[in-house]
Structure 1
Amino acid sequence: MKAIIELCSRIDNALAAVINVAVTVLGFFIAFSMVGGIVFRALLGIQVFGLEELVLMAAMWLYMLGAALASRERSHLSADFFQAFSDNEVLHDVMRLIATGLSLVMAVFFVNWSYSLFSWGFEKGQVTPVFGIPQYFSQVSLLVASVLLLLYVLRDFVHDVSKMFRKA
């Protein structure tokens, strides 16, 4: 069992490293593309066709991979207002478990919805107007992010349940 956990941890760390590199590259690409588009259009009077569709796809991937990293680090937005009203640690643990359970249910729905969107886009064969890039290329970012969200929320749920049992 410990070997499986160690393997999962190594895979997770490698995946996080790849995602961090991708987020950095995408962030630079979007920033330089936006500046380049403004310079070409406003200063040089040259219209750059297709730049918007590349930036849009990169932004979709950037946002979705960033959301996956936030889920991995459990640093996404949360409303832990019970901690402000109570010092009861058991109540905090129960509320965290309920919130993680609800997140798990929602993650399953997200995977289902994003798969439906991806498969619909794949069937329709829609492409971008300038470069002819398939639309499902950006839609699959939702599927990748929702699968990663599901895995990380499942990890957090197992952690929260085991924490409750250890205290009991």
Structure 2
Amino acid sequence: MDRIAQYLLAGLISIVALSQFVQVVTRYFLQVPVMGLEESILYPTLWLYILGAVNASREDTHIRANVLEIFLKTRRQHTILAIVGELISLVVGLWLLYWAWDFTSYAWRVWKESPTLYIPTFYSDVALMIGIILMMIYTVVHLSRHVRKLSVGSQK
């Protein structure tokens, strides 16, 4: 799974970078802009953004401001704080998932298309729903790991 995520993210960032390079060369050097290139770059860019957040959730490397950890002395207190943080993340994430479902069902029902290339925008809109589902799965995994760690630590 790690390898797939690495290749997918590397492929998406390569597509975006190469497309931007082509856009710069054709627009500024050749004075011939490629019609619809910005529009087509939007799709891999959005997926890259969402899957990057999923990757941070998978690796548990989100940026955090854990000010409370300064005041906590024991490993048990740190674990309890991590459990509280994961529970809050789960509640907020499930709330966002509810709204993402509404948005995705709206996007499916309306089936809008991009203005120039007529690419269905559903293919970019669904990224939010898939991303939040994956982040919630990883949040549950991290939560269960912290709970296990707390229960093993209390048995000693």
TM-score range relative to shorter protein? over 0.9
What letter matches 1:134 in structure 2? P
Matched, 1:31 2:7: no
1:129 and 1:35 map into 2 onto residues whose CA distance is: 23
2:79 and 2:22 map into 1 onto residues whose CA distance is: 49
What letter matches 2:132 in structure 1? S
Corresponding residue of 1:88 = 74
Larger displacement relative to structure 2 (28-37 or 103-112): 103-112
Q: Give the CA deviation at 1:165.
A: 1.4
Q: Unpaired segments of 5 or more residues in structure 2?
A: none
Q: Give the CA deviation at 1:120.
A: 0.5
Corresponding residue of 1:17 = 3
SS in 2 for 1:139: helix
1:49 and 1:113 map into 2 onto residues whose CA distance is: 34
Match of 1:117 among 103, 107, 122: 103
Matched, 1:163 2:149: yes
Q: Give the CA deviation at 1:113.
A: 1.7
Q: Give the CA deviation at 1:21.
A: 1.3
Matched, 1:142 2:128: yes
Match of 2:31 among 23, 36, 45: 45
Write the deviation string for residues 5-47 of structure 1: whole angstroms up to 9, x where unpaired: xxxxxxxx3xx32222111111011111111101101111102
Q: Give the CA deviation at 1:111.
A: 1.8
If the length of structure 1 is used for normalisation, what is the TM-score? 0.86
Q: Unpaired segments of 5 or more residues in structure 1?
A: 1-12
SS in 2 for 1:60: helix
If the length of structure 2 is used for normalisation, what is the TM-score? 0.93
Match of 1:98 among 84, 95, 101: 84
SS in 1 for 2:65: coil
Q: CA RMSD in A?
A: 1.2
Identity %: 27
SS in 2 for 1:131: coil
1:86 and 1:147 map into 2 onto residues whose CA distance is: 32
